[in-house]
A and B are shown apart, each in its own frame.
Chain A
Amino acid sequence: MSQMSKIVRTISNIIFPFIMVFGLYVIAHGHLTPGGGFQGGAVAASGCVMLVVAYGSTWIFEKIKVSRLSAFESLGALGFIGVAFFGLIFGGYFFNNFLVKTGILFNIVPETGFTGSEFNTAGVLPLMNFAVGVKVIAGVFAIVVVMAYASSIKEWKQ
């Protein structure tokens, strides 16, 4: 895929930070509003995919190493399973929500029926949301970059 026109590139440059911020907002507020790691990750990854469309997959493929994206995805998955293992170590059960009543971080427990929004709640859920978000951004971006690059080159190096 080749580059698109200058207008498209400029506008996607302008929009890109906003999409990323919105994606990160959805990830960070996963425990308060509709959304979470997967949805926010998909939003942020679509922002990255917009760059692929605007700048052409060849250019992106040269700038970004897919193996690095794959390693990031691995790290996201490790973070997720790592939080689960911490639950085993500190809470006594795999996937235990060990932070929720300890008083370290994200530890406030709202009253039942509380309709305000308190960010510092939900125990390990924000951490898991974050890990999943990293994973989804890296994973979806890697899939799209590889597929776009593979469809753009004429002869495969087989």
Chain B
Amino acid sequence: MNWFEIITMHSPALIVAVPLLTGFLTPLVSRINDTARNLFAIIMLSITGFLIAILGYDVLTNGIRTYVFGGGNTVVTLPSGLMFHVRIIFEVDVMNVFMIFITIILAIIGIIYSFSFMKKEDGLDKYYTIVLILIASTLGMELTGDLFNFFVFLEISCITSCALIAFWVHKGEALEAAFKYIVVSSIGALFFLFALGLLYAQYNALNMATIANSIQFSIIDQSALVLIIAALAMKAGIVPLHMWLPDSYGEAPQSITFILIAATQASLYGAFRVIFTLYGNVFNSINLASLNLVLTTNTMGWIIIALAIITILVGVFMAFIQTDFKRLIAFAAVAEIGYIFLGIGVRLASKYVQYTGGNATAVAFTEYSSIALNGSIFHIINDCLDIGLLFLVAGAIYYATKESSLDKMGGLARNMKYTTIFFIIGLLAVSGMPPLNGFASKLMLYESTFQLNPIIAIIAVLASIMLLAVFVKVFYSAFMGPEQPKFKEVREAPKGMLIAMGAIVVIIIIFGLFPNLVINNLVQPAANALTNYTTYISKVIPGVI
């Protein structure tokens, strides 16, 4: 075994362990000086990125990779002859690789942005410690194959995000937002733990593959599903439970908001994993023989569609009336998460049409349901990049002018040329205009939704157009118009921030020009991995099916 194979073998554990180790070492390293700390953080994150590249390459070529913590032959044999591991297992398929890929991009760019954005603050050693732990926990949530481990990382990300939202402690609103966030997310996490207890009582196992293998969808399993989805929706900001999201996105430092987006998407990933893998034999392999499962899938799909449409509408309409730049973008983020959820719902509801319609519809809807899932997964990365770019632009403006109210801004385009260009690209991407990446994923969502129900598709398109209107309004009030006397001295944002924003813009343009490259190489395999739950199970429990 050469060194490359050894690194590949251990990379799932190291991807989480290296940022954690960095986080533990940062308080000691920052005793030297600030530059050493910054260099240390970025070098260790680059090592993590390198490991992710190795792992991603391996998973894309060789399929699912598992890692058993502690090793050894600790295998339980069931009376039926199936075996499963007692220890914690990390199981990495293409979907996980896709998510950790997004996270590491956001993390590295966010750290680079922090170097210049947070330069004048104090308490930075603690800041970098907590940011690195937040990144590690997000990666852990996305890699783990164990439900309780997922809960632990969920709680780590909850605590670290709360501490970071309250970073500007002299602002009362930041404290309030942080308190709201920790109340909502700790209750959500406790619901998750309760649901985990229900599943544990039924199947006496904690890793996802074992539970997925034996899930029966009894009443207790259904209540566990409802609780888990409610908890993860709470963390992701679906509408009845969205109230924490604009507050915390709006009040946190913008570099934090950028990394928080990745943490939110990790909860969404959890919802994907639970619906399509943990309850895989309910929602994936339905057939006419079990009509009640088909009906359940349909009900579930329409509930999710309804929630998603409400989320989109609330996000867009609330964005209209905001006067604070960051809160406005935060509501746009709520709307974008609604689009991702819409994809899941359409996927589940299309499955119903597929099995109850005629033969011709069956063929068509097989394709549409997979398009909906692809669009939904592709929209995760686009949402991260677009909303993230807008938050970074808001941060650059805040850094330059110390102002975040839209009423008091104006004429900034004269002095902040690059920022203006980045903002235009961000607003076009977020509202789904053709040459950019938002268009590619939204088109897939519209197409599949239209086949299911044209009215919903029209609502989705209109909401997207309204989002464009909102941002054009912002553009005029902030960047255009007469030059304000107090902004005469405003200068362009520092180089570090421009580099961070420029990097995202480059990725957005590449994804916009060559969407098929991403869809064929990353999104489609991810969707296949998600729906192929039997492969996922058989990697942990050999000999099943």
| A interface residues with partner B (beta carbon < 8 Å) | 70-71, 74, 77-78, 81, 84-85, 87-88, 91-97, 158
Known: A71-B28, A81-B24. A95 touches B69 (CB 8 A): yes
Our pick among A81, A96, A158 for the contact of B71 (Cβ within 8 Å) is A96
A selection of 8 A-B contacts at a CB cut-off of 8 Å is A74-B27, A74-B28, A78-B24, A93-B71, A93-B72, A94-B13, A95-B69, A96-B72
7 closest A-B pairs by CB:
A93-B71, A94-B13, A95-B70, A77-B24, A95-B69, A74-B27, A78-B24
Q: Are B27 and A88 in contact (CB under 8 A)?
A: no
Q: Are A81 and B70 in contact (CB under 8 A)?
A: no
Q: Which residues of A contact B27 (CB under 8 A)?
A: 70-71, 74
CB-based A-B contact count at 8 angstroms? 43
Known: A84-B17, A94-B13, A94-B17. A74 touches B24 (CB 8 A): yes
Q: Which residues of B contact A81 (CB under 8 A)?
A: 17, 20-21, 24
Q: Which residues of B contact A96 (CB under 8 A)?
A: 70-72
Q: Are B170 and A158 in contact (CB under 8 A)?
A: yes
| B interface residues with partner A (beta carbon < 8 Å) | 10, 13-14, 17, 20-21, 24-25, 27-28, 67-72, 170
Whole-angstrom CA separation of A45 from B321 in the bound complex: 51
- DSSP majority for the A interface? helix
Within the complex, what minimum Cβ distance (angstroms) separates A62 from chain B?
21
Whole-angstrom CA separation of A70 from B17 in the bound complex: 21
Q: Which residues of B contact A77 (CB under 8 A)?
A: 24
Within the complex, what minimum Cβ distance (angstroms) separates B155 from chain A?
15
Minimal Cβ-Cβ distance residue in B for A97: B70
Q: Which residues of B contact A87 (CB under 8 A)?
A: 70
Q: Are B170 and A92 in contact (CB under 8 A)?
A: no
Whole-angstrom CA separation of A88 from B71 in the bound complex: 10
Known: A70-B27, A74-B27, A77-B24. A91 touches B17 (CB 8 A): no
Q: Are A85 and B17 in contact (CB under 8 A)?
A: yes
Our pick among A70, A71, A93, A158 for the contact of B69 (Cβ within 8 Å) is A93
Q: Which residues of A contact B13 (CB under 8 A)?
A: 88, 94
Q: Which residues of A contact B72 (CB under 8 A)?
A: 93, 96-97
Q: Which residues of A contact B67 (CB under 8 A)?
A: 94
Minimal Cβ-Cβ distance residue in A for B126: A70
Minimal Cβ-Cβ distance residue in A for B88: A95
Q: Which residues of B contact A74 (CB under 8 A)?
A: 24-25, 27-28
Q: Which residues of A contact B20 (CB under 8 A)?
A: 81
Within the complex, what minimum Cβ distance (angstroms) separates A71 from chain B?
6
* Extra contacts besides A77-B24, A94-B13 (5): CB < 8 Å: A71-B27, A78-B24, A78-B25, A81-B20, A91-B71
Within the complex, what minimum Cβ distance (angstroms) separates B290 from chain A?
41
Q: Are A94 and B24 in contact (CB under 8 A)?
A: no
Listed residue (B10, B24, B72, B170) with the most chain A CB atoms within 10 angstroms of its CB? B24
Q: Which residues of A contact B24 (CB under 8 A)?
A: 74, 77-78, 81
Known: A81-B20, A84-B17, A85-B17. A92 touches B71 (CB 8 A): yes
